[in-house]
Structure formats: structure tokens, C-alpha cells
Structure 1
Amino acid sequence: MDASPLNQILFGPPGTGKTHATVDHALAILDPQLLSACKDDAETGRKRLKSRFDELVLQERIRFVTFHQSFSYEDFVEGLRAESDGDSGQLRYEVVDGVFKSLCEAAAAKVTKQAEAPLDLGKRRIWKMSLGNTLGSDAGVYEECVQGGYVLLGYGGGIDFSGCSSRGDVQQRFVDAGVTLDGPSDYSVTSVTAFVTKMKPGDLVVVSDGNFKFRAIGEVAGDYAFKVHPEYDPHYSQMRPVKWLRQYSPSLPHSELLNGQFSQMTLYELRSPTLNREKLQGLLSTPALASVFVPGQTFGRDYQVTRATSELLELKKPNGNVLGFAMSLINELAEAVRSEKIALQDIRDKTAIEKLPGSTLEPYLVNGYNSILAVLVGHLTSTETHKPATAAEANARVLIIDEINRGNISRIFGELITLIEPSKRAGADEALSVVLPYSKQSFSVPQNVYLIGTMNTADRSLAGLDIALRRRFVFREMPARPELLTDVQVDNVNIGELLRAMNQRIEVLLDRDHCLGHAYFMPLRSDKSVGRLAAIFRNQILPLLQEYFFEDWERIRWVLNDQRAHIANTEPFVQRPQSELNLQKLFGDDVVGKVNDQRWELNDAAFGSIDSYRNILG
């Protein structure tokens, strides 16, 4: 991680693989061991790296955003969003974190309270619950509940609902107490019914912090009880004992658990597809296990982890069926590999059982799933060897900003342009924090948040790049690399030499920032046909040259060496129109002598002729 700068920008002409390279640069931070293992495996290495990258995206450890002219501070840091109150239906405005602030808070969050969590969520119900308003007079309810080991419901007043088993029973208690209800769907009845009759011991409770964060996860540990609250009487008299499993400070973004946002309702059940049960299981997994096997990871031929506990590893097979392995089996094989009793190849070759006399391992299981077990054991032993040095490194986050120069940097970053400096990050000697304008809360950027930007040097907005941004980022050039195409031949025309010749002419006529990238020609590695080459030139190269030279067709011809096509007796790509115009008839005698015919057209015959491409080489 020390080798990767906190802020870096990959810059170069179009088509040089800047976005493609962000995968490697992100994994150099989050999984350097895998990157190192794949560097010499050109055939399958990229697939493994992209698969791991996608896993980290699913885990929200990598986020991707593209800057554009309308992207703002409110999108990046924080802003106000209109929300409808679920209880009253009134419109209200809530501070919502932008992509960067949300990433920073997830990276900075620490588990301040932890207890042994359920190994299997099974069919447990998951409830969202609010415990007081963080900005209201009942803000202390949350801390009270955490300290006391229970949850309190603010609805129901001073009514005892003991013995109620249905909504009708709850509603009758309200009527008997003289409470006037707001129709048959009154939310007081709904919330109390859920709290008293539907919530069961073993269910999980997620405590929200507004609509976009959550701050604790607990397990319901007992039945409903009525207990008059000494401070908030008659409110908060409905109680359930809870075993607190996780408590976070600062609160985690809702995206670490949900596929949507929380509702304003005080209490309701979280269900799929809003609830991501795999993410919840990951939050409840022990840190050591969570760093090894995480839901969403893919091993072997598309075996995807769906659940990982200290006792069970569950995979979805390529055919969609579920395959489960006891962690004791994987750990026993891993221990045999560590002690050098067997090698990973022994598992693959189905000889591991023979070399482990007296083992309780099931031969049919080990030999029947030898390929995937070898991969899982290898991953376990490799991860143990390369554990992150600190918890912050294990929780590192990467934000990839594509086309970073296309946004208004001053407007988007605001005061954060100073906070992203390595020396100004939280924990550094010169650390700084600012009070954000909307939330009025102090904010600093953690040391384990990395920014990777991409920048197209041919973009006309490059000249307006903020000088403050230039000083705070490490710039890594991504030039065109014709050498990657040296072994690509289309009818004896070397594509690497073709690209090199065009780029040399562009550098002379324009500059090196407007060269053509090698990525445009990479499809020719698998399809070495003139038809594919023609499609690349017609759909990508010619339009780009038109953009570069502002429709100056004469210089476009020079790049393609068309001015010498007649010498080689080949078809030029750009030529004068074949149809003649009577300029005198078109403009009249007074104008015709002053007209300079500027007409050019593309020559269809050239695109399908290999000799025309050979002429580009001179």
C-alpha cells in the first residue's frame, strides 16, 4: 500500500487504456497479492483480476463515478434532498451524503461494540428501527438502549400490551385506554403490533441513523415487556431485551447493507430486494473470516460465495445449485499444506487423502471436488500469509473518478481540495478538518481512502484544469503503446508499425497529447480481418482525426499518407469528390474566381483495400 499514492491521475490520449488500467491500480491497493500472482498469466490473469475487482465493487470498497459539467458539490460531498415523511406525509429536507463523503465515512467507521453473532441468518426476520431522533429531545434514547441491552418503542404511550397476540388485540387496548385512532391503518397500531406480536427472539434489529445511515445491529433476546420510562413517561414504555452484536462509530452508509435507502417509519421489516442479506452476513462475520471469504467472491470456474461463517462456506455452482463445505474441512486441508504434509497439487491430483493417514477427511468429498477445494485452500493460506498490517488497511476504500478534468473541480471538491492532501488527512501530523456547510458537522478524510482519476489529454477542457488539483495528485502518463500490437498482422500489414507511423505524423502536425491509443486496435488480436480493420478506421479513427484537426481534411490526409497514394497506385481514404460541379453555374461569374473548393469525401474503396493500409506505412 505504501507504493500506491493516495491521490493519482492516469492521463494520456484517447484509447490508451486508462479506465482499463484502473482495475490494476485499484487492486494494487486492495489486493496486491492477487495482482502479483496474475502479472505473468496473460491468458487468464485479466479475468481473475476483473472478477476480484467486481467483488470489491459489490462490497462497496471500490466505487466508480464519472465527472461531467453538471456534477456538483452536492453529488460529491453532501447536499439537501427533499423527502416525504412516512408518518405525516409532510415534505422535509434531509442532508444526504455524496459519493466521496459516504466512502470516507465507511472507511473511517470502527466497530465500537462487538459480540458473537449468529452463524446463519436462515429465515430470521430483520427489522429496521429508529431509537430516538439524533437531533431531537429524545436523542439520548439510543445510548440508553445500547447501555441497557434493550430497544424502546416510542409509540403506544403508557399502555401495557402484554398478552396481545394480534392487531385486533392491540387496537382494542388503544380503544380501552381512550385513544382516538386515525382510521384502521393508524401507524401507532401498526408499529406496536409489529413490536409486540410479530418480532420474535432471534430476529435481528438494524438501528437507523436518519434515512441514509445505520449505527447498530442487535439480536432480539426476549419477549415484549412493559416498563414505564422515568424520563419520557408515557412514551418509550414498550421494551424488548436485545443483545447488541455490532455498534458503529461513525454510522455506516445505508449502501453497506441495503440496495435502497431506509424509510422514515420507526419500525418495519427489511426484506429483499432492498435488504442485501449477503452484506448483512458479511457485517456479522468475524473480521478474520470476512477478510478471507466474502459473499460475492468468485473462485474457480464461476463458483460464487453466497455465505461465509466460521463453520460453513456456501458456494453457488456455475449451474446455479448450492454447494456447502464445512470450514473444518478447509481448515484441516490448509493446516496440512502449512505443515508441508501435502501440497495444493496433491489436492488437485486426488492424492491428498493417501498422504494424510489417520485423517477424518471424507475421501469422496475431497476427491470429488478436488479442483475447487484446491483453489479455496490456496486462497485461505495465501490470505493468511499476506494479512493487512492494520485494521485501516483491511478497510481501505478506492474511489475511481473517470474523466476527472471534465468537471468543475473548484465547485465539486470545495474545501475538500485541501483535505485530500496526504499531510492533511486524519491522523497525519498536519491533519485538518472542516465543518461542512449542510450538516454542520466536522469532517476529515481518512488515510485509507484512495483516489484514482483518469484524464483524456485530448479533451479541450484540459487547459482549464484546476492548478490546486494538479498539486495534490501524482500524475501517471498512459501513452499509446504500439509495441503491444507488434505481433498483430493483417494480411502482412503490421498493426503496431501502422499505429506508430500515424502517431509520429500526429506529433509533428499537432502534439503528443493527441496520439491514437492502442486500445482501438486491440480487437484485431482475436479477429485479424480486413473487415474488422476497416470498421475500426471508419467508426473510430477517422471521426477522431476529424475532431483533432477541426475538419482540416488536408492534414488528415497527411496522417494517412494519402498524398502519396497515387505513387503507390492505391486508393486514398480521403479524396476530392468524383462528381464535378459547375462553379460558374452555382455561384455566377462575379463569385466563381473567389471560390476555393473545400469539398472532401471518404473513399469507400480504400477501407476494404489492404494496399491502402500498407500505404500508410509509406
Structure 2
Amino acid sequence: MDFEKVLNAIRDAINRDDRFQVTHNGKNCFWIGDKVNGGLIGSKLCHYEFRRNNNPDTCSIEVHFEEADQYYRFWNLINDLDENRIDGLSLYEVRNKYVHIDEGQLTNKIKKKHILVREKFPLDDNLYNVQELVVKLMDNLYYVDKEIGDRLRQIIDSNFQPNHNVAIPNKIETKQMNHPLNQILFGPPGTGKTYNTINKAISIINPQFNLNQERDEVKKEYDRLVKAGQIVFSTFHQNMSYEDFIEGIKPITQNGKVEYEVQDGIFKQICVTANTPNQGDFNISYDKLQKKLSEVDRLTLSTPTGKQFEISLNSNGNLTLYTGSEKKQQGTLTKQNIQRQINGEDMFVGWEGYFKGVIAALEADFGYVKQKVEVSEERRKKQKVKDKFVLIIDEINRGNVSSIFGELITLIEDDKRIGRDEALEVTLPYSKKKFGVPDNLYIIGTMNTADRSVEALDTALRRRFHFEEMAPKPEMLAPNYMFWSLLWKYKKIEWENPDYVKEEKRLLDFIGASQTIWNTRKSIWKDFKNEGKDVKQIDKFPLDEFGGVNLHLMLTKINQRIEKLIDKDHRIGHSYFINVQSEDDLKEAFRNKVIPLLEEYFFGDIGKIGLVLGDSFVEKVNGGFEFAAFSGYDSQIAQDLKERCVYAIKYPKDSKDSMVWDFKSIYTSNTAAK
């Protein structure tokens, strides 16, 4: 894990917090102190500290005392920690720990004492991403301050009076997560870019959600947020245009006639949604209105002037409007246009009253709280903070980004968003209306570097996005990691379950598990369940206990050769092999995915594929070749062409043909091309 990213992320989270601040920066560490309480904690006398630890490589939040002649003031607190009288905190390192009593005074030979706050966190990408680590570190900071913070302040200042009404958060807030408003995940194919957009979108909108659950549970939360309108997924392609993304003139059918109107595109739609006050409650209230209309034919409402009109629910989930004494059908009030009316736009001159009548009904009858005003306590509890929204743009580099975003490429900058100091609005070319991008809308793009490198992107785009590399993770294909993953996949299944027995045998045969693994796997699994899921458990399955195909070594070697022949942007991601559990699976992956990808990379130069995979995959096929008789061509050149080497892939005849592809030879052969 990139420690600089961790350092910057946790420092920014601290400075954004209402209660803490960075008071001193050091190398691989910084001090943390109070923003409130008179700033008592944060000096050399006593401060919290984020730091990196070596052997092993970890980081932690600690309590430090660095004024030797004042150390005695904290002695009783330290003893309580030494004797485990404070739950959850423990001493883990003491430097020069000895006390010399000289006429009743402690000498300055006691230099420094460190206190561990709950645990150290390995700097390991396999355990969590940077933002997840920040959450854990902030949780530890909150915990130690809750447990001993007031006691530290009382020791520092005898006049300090604890305020027990101050709420100590259990989890880091969304704003402390410091997610970039615009970010792009880039990397070679198969590295999990699209897969990780789901996790990132959820962590932005619902930071309290546990992303370490089973994938099905994570996907359910993602689907819930999509249904609520807080996540929108889109894919760029060569035909994507400004009119599709921002706004354009589109044909509609109205009362049997074709008409043209300005319609919002994907980006503008989610901006309108994000601008809607209390959007979560709006969705709930609108759903209640839809449910009511599904039970009755029509609903009678009133405009602010008392004029009655009726609405019904159409097949698209929008509201059909009926007006006049005979209640004739007039048109449609769409959900999006209702939101725009709430946001301050006057929709359709002459129809404002109908929109306002619907909004009034949502507030009065269906529980929508539009604004934070002075209301009853019960009503106040329903009011929420500004909801977060995420637009995911898959394959962002496949579209012409400058053309698709148009003038809005400027408005997506952090400081140009609505609500920021340098906020800007532009007049859109079709609707002629002012438009700005809200500061609660996050954009996550993905980019396949095999299609187009980061360096080839438009400079304006690169300057406005935070780029995060998603590199291949071959370590996830190590045999011990694969078996560990299988165990947790079937964590709720008994050993005798036929599906598990079959899958376990296939995998252990493929990775060549030793008899020791077979004999001890049940007792080891019992320990795992007691400990809870932890990637460090894979160490209980030593690599020398597996003698089969090692996909970790194989993919590492393949990517090293591709990087030498092309570049690192064309490496192969681990997801191509993530579901491989047998040699048949591996053959299928090579036949249908890996080899076609390599042929594309090398533009059909099969010889270079041979340099990547070796003799068992590629053969020379020059024998028995003759050109057609053509006396007009230079015979010497024809002879040179005839002697030119031609190569072909050696495909297995069927799934039982084990004599062709030797996967181990990819990473064990030392024979170089001559």
C-alpha cells in the first residue's frame, strides 16, 4: 500500500474533523491535538500521533508523552494501562523504561512511552483500500479520546471540566473520508476497475456500510442506492454525444403528434436529482404518492390559488395532468420536472401552480420535508443532511470526453461546484437556462489503459480528475490464497456438502495440495472461524505444501514479459483467472480469453506470443510451403519471404489433451529465445 497516500488521506481527515487538528508534521508521522477543549492535547507534553511502524510495516494512532521532566504527571494513567484496567488499550512499547528516585523526584532518564490504541494496521492492499484504512484509524482516534481523553486533559490542566454531553462518533463521517469529487480508476483489463466502482460508490454515499461482507450483500446495497437514484451507471462509447450526456432536442409523441423538446441527458438528470433538497425523503414520498395512485383512478389536488386539478399515474411512473371543469387530459408532470420546480426552476409557463400543488401534497400528505426550517422536534428528526450522489462512467476514455462534457468540463472542478467559493454557472445552448454542478455529486470513471494510456488523455480532463491505478494483483492467485478464499466462500456450509466436496477436490488437486493440507484443513478451518476472516490466515497454508500450478507465479511471469515487449499498460489482470479451479478451467481461460487478448496486443504476431508463453503454446509451421509460380517477381525476395518464420498456436485437441499446454513451463523454464 502506498504510505504517502495513507499519510495524506488521514492528515486530511484529521483536519476536516470538528474535534481534532494536526499540530506538528514529522517524517512518516504527525501529531494530533484538540480543536476544542482549549487545545490541551497536541503539544510535546501530550499528543495523539499517527505514525508508521517497521518490522512489520504497519501504521497506528498512538498517545505520546515527550517532555521527560513532566512524565511523572501521567504515571497513574500509565500504570492503569500496564495493568489492563482500561478496556481496549494497552502498552506496546516503552523506551528507556526505568525509574530513578532521587530525593522523591523522578529523573529525566525516562524519555518516552508509547501507548497503542487498540491495534496496529498492516499497510496491505489485500486487507483494505486507503479510505477503509482511514476509517479504521479514525475509529481508533475516537475510541482513545473517549476512553482516556478527558483524563489526559485533567492531568494537563487541573481546571479542565469534562463535557459529557459531547457526542463521540463511532464511525468516521463522509466528509472525513475525503473522496475526490472526480476520480478515474485506470489500469490494464481484468484488474477489477468496474468491480471496485461499486465499493467506492457505496463508501461515498453510505460510509457506515461494511464492505467486508459477502459480495451479494454489497451488491444489494448498491442496487438499493441505484433504485433510490443516488447511483447512476453509464458507459461511454464512440457514439456518445453532448446531447446524450448533457441536453439535446429529442422527438416525443404527444396526442398522436410528433413534437420536439429539449430533454436532459444522463449527467444533467443526476445533477437535478442531487440538487433536490432532502432527495432521500423526496424519493420515499414520491413512491408513496405512486402507491396511492396505483390504488385509485385519480387524485384531486389544488394549486396555491385553490384551483382544483387531477392527476393519475402513467406507465412510466410519471403523473398525467387533468384540468378544467371537465378535467381533460393536458400532459405529463414528470418526476424530474417536479424536482426541478423544487430546485427553483419555473417549469412550463402557466403550469407552475400544478407543480406546486403536487409538491404541497408530497409535503402535507406523504411526508416530504423540503427545507430545514423551524419545525416540531418530530419533524426535525426527519430532516437529513445533504445526500451524496455518484455517477459512474465506465470506459470513460472510449468517448470523446471534451465533446461529451462540452463547457461543463470547467464546472466539474471542485472549487467551481455550486456551494463552493468559486462556484460558476453557464447558460446551456439548447434550454438557454443557467446550470451548475452540485458539490454533492461524485464522478467515478474507469479507464482501460490497453485501449488508451493516461498520457494520451486530454490535458483538461487529466487536470480535473484524480487518477488511481488499479494494477494486477497476482498474489490473489497464490495457491494458499485460493484455498483460503474457497473456505470463506463456503463458510456456512458443512464439510460433507456435495457442492463443497466437489469444488474442494477440484481445487486441491489443481494446486497440488500436500497430504498435510488434507489432514489438517478441518482443524485449521476451526481456528479461522473463531478468529474471523483475516487475509493473514493464509500463512497457515505454507506455499511449499502446494505442488500444482501456481497461477500467482504464472501471471507474474506473463506480465513481466508483456511489459518488456510492449509496456505496463498492456499487462493482464488477475480477474481473468479468479474463477479458475482446475486445469480444464485454465485451458478454457487461455483459449477464450488470454490468447485472443495477446493476439490483439501483438497484432497477430504469434511469435511474440511464443516469447510470452513458451514452446508448449506456440510452434513454427514453415514446412512444405511453396508460393504460386510468378516469374515477374524478384526470385531472391521470394526466397527470403519463403524462409520467413511463421508461427501458430498449439491448441489442445480436447479437454482431455494434457500433452500440449504445460502451464508450469511458463514460469519454470529458463530457456531464452536465440
> Normalising TM by the smaller chain, what interval?
0.5 to 0.7
Match of residue 223 from structure 1: none
Match of residue 191 from structure 2: 16
Q: Secondary structure at the match of 1:95?
A: strand
1:344-402 Cα shifts (integer Å, max 9, x gaps): xxxxxxxxxxxxxxxxxxxxxxxxxxxxxxxxxxxxxxxxxxx999531xx22111000
Aligned length: 388
Residue 258 (structure 2) aligned to one of 74, 85, 91:
91
TM-score w.r.t. the length of structure 2 is 0.51
Match of residue 121 from structure 1: 292
Partner AA of 1:452 in structure 2: I
In 1, Cα distance between equivalents of 2:200 and 2:285: 36
Q: Secondary structure at the match of 2:189?
A: coil
User: Does the aligned pair in 2 maintain the 1:208–1:215 contact within 8 Å?
Assistant: no
Residue 594 (structure 2) pairs with residue 541 (structure 1): yes
Partner AA of 1:391 in structure 2: V
Residue 100 (structure 1) aligned to one of 260, 263, 267:
267
Match of residue 552 from structure 1: 605
Partner AA of 2:263 in structure 1: V
Residue 672 (structure 2) pairs with residue 616 (structure 1): no
User: Does the aligned pair in 1 maintain the 2:293–2:299 contact within 8 Å?
Assistant: no
1:100 to 1:207, Cα distance in 2 relative to 1, 3 A? same
Residue 25 (structure 1) aligned to one of 191, 195, 200:
200
Residue 513 (structure 1) aligned to one of 563, 569, 581:
569
Match of residue 492 from structure 2: none
In 2, Cα distance between equivalents of 1:551 and 1:90: 53
In 2, Cα distance between equivalents of 1:390 and 1:128: 29
Deviation of the 1:510 alpha carbon: 1.5
Deviation of the 1:597 alpha carbon: 3.1
Residue 568 (structure 2) pairs with residue 502 (structure 1): no
Deviation of the 1:553 alpha carbon: 1.9
Residue 609 (structure 2) pairs with residue 438 (structure 1): no
Residue 447 (structure 2) pairs with residue 455 (structure 1): yes
Deviation of the 1:477 alpha carbon: 0.5
Partner AA of 1:23 in structure 2: I
1:333-353 Cα shifts (integer Å, max 9, x gaps): xxxxxxxxxxxxxxxxxxxxx
Partner AA of 2:199 in structure 1: D
Residue 366 (structure 2) pairs with residue 284 (structure 1): yes
Partner AA of 1:436 in structure 2: L
Residue 620 (structure 2) aligned to one of 576, 583, 594:
576
User: Does the aligned pair in 1 maintain the 2:554–2:667 contact within 8 Å?
Assistant: yes
User: Does the aligned pair in 1 maintain the 2:191–2:574 contact within 8 Å?
Assistant: yes
In 2, Cα distance between equivalents of 1:578 and 1:435: 66
- Give the alignment's Cα RMSD to 1 decimal: 4.1
In 2, Cα distance between equivalents of 1:547 and 1:401: 25
Residue 327 (structure 2) pairs with residue 195 (structure 1): yes
1:126 to 1:485, Cα distance in 2 relative to 1, 3 A? farther
Partner AA of 1:17 in structure 2: G
In 1, Cα distance between equivalents of 2:285 and 2:569: 56
1:1-51 Cα shifts (integer Å, max 9, x gaps): 3321111100000000000001100001111111xx242x4xx2x111111
In 1, Cα distance between equivalents of 2:285 and 2:261: 34
Deviation of the 1:604 alpha carbon: 1.8
Q: Mapping of 1:95-494 within 5 angstroms?
A: 95-110=262-277, 121=292, 124-125=295-296, 127=298, 146-152=303-309, 195=327, 208-209=332-333, 213-215=336-338, 248-250=342-344, 284-285=366-367, 391-392=385-386, 395-460=387-452, 464-487=456-479, 488=482, 490-491=511-512, 492-494=548-550
User: Does the aligned pair in 1 maintain the 2:369–2:383 contact within 8 Å?
Assistant: no
1:407-453 Cα shifts (integer Å, max 9, x gaps): 11111000100000010000100000001000010000011111000
In 1, Cα distance between equivalents of 2:434 and 2:405: 16
User: Does the aligned pair in 1 maintain the 2:278–2:384 contact within 8 Å?
Assistant: no
In 2, Cα distance between equivalents of 1:589 and 1:441: 70
State the structure with bigger RCO (CA 8 A, min sep 6), 1 or 2. Answer: 1
Residue 77 (structure 1) aligned to one of 246, 249, 265:
246
Residue 602 (structure 1) aligned to one of 646, 649, 653:
649
Question: Percent sequence identity over matched residues?
Answer: 40
Deviation of the 1:506 alpha carbon: 1.2
Q: Secondary structure at the match of 2:262?
A: strand
User: Does the aligned pair in 2 maintain the 1:110–1:250 contact within 8 Å?
Assistant: no
Q: Secondary structure at the match of 2:560?
A: helix
Deviation of the 1:75 alpha carbon: 0.5
Partner AA of 1:284 in structure 2: F
In 2, Cα distance between equivalents of 1:127 and 1:248: 23
Deviation of the 1:582 alpha carbon: 3.5
User: Does the aligned pair in 2 maintain the 1:405–1:455 contact within 8 Å?
Assistant: yes
1:68 to 1:122, Cα distance in 2 relative to 1, 3 A? closer
Deviation of the 1:121 alpha carbon: 2.8
User: Does the aligned pair in 2 maintain the 1:13–1:517 contact within 8 Å?
Assistant: yes
User: Does the aligned pair in 2 maintain the 1:69–1:406 contact within 8 Å?
Assistant: yes
In 2, Cα distance between equivalents of 1:126 and 1:423: 48
Match of residue 358 from structure 2: none
Q: Secondary structure at the match of 2:595?
A: helix
Deviation of the 1:513 alpha carbon: 0.9
In 1, Cα distance between equivalents of 2:244 and 2:634: 61
Q: Secondary structure at the match of 2:179?
A: coil
1:580 to 1:252, Cα distance in 2 relative to 1, 3 A? farther
Partner AA of 1:456 in structure 2: N
Match of residue 593 from structure 1: 639
Partner AA of 2:658 in structure 1: S
In 1, Cα distance between equivalents of 2:206 and 2:306: 38
1:557 to 1:518, Cα distance in 2 relative to 1, 3 A? same
In 2, Cα distance between equivalents of 1:149 and 1:601: 81
In 1, Cα distance between equivalents of 2:596 and 2:559: 16
Partner AA of 1:147 in structure 2: P
In 2, Cα distance between equivalents of 1:495 and 1:397: 39
Partner AA of 1:71 in structure 2: M
1:127-148 Cα shifts (integer Å, max 9, x gaps): 599x9xxxxxxxxxxxxx6423
Deviation of the 1:58 alpha carbon: 1.6
Match of residue 64 from structure 1: 233
Partner AA of 1:508 in structure 2: K
1:567-610 Cα shifts (integer Å, max 9, x gaps): xxxxx211122762235869999254231434322112398538
What 5-or-longer segments of structure 2 have no aligned partner? 1-173, 311-321, 355-361, 371-377, 483-509, 513-547, 669-674
Residue 219 (structure 2) aligned to one of 44, 50, 64:
50
TM-score w.r.t. the length of structure 1 is 0.56
Match of residue 164 from structure 1: none
Partner AA of 1:49 in structure 2: V
Partner AA of 2:461 in structure 1: L
In 1, Cα distance between equivalents of 2:382 and 2:473: 34
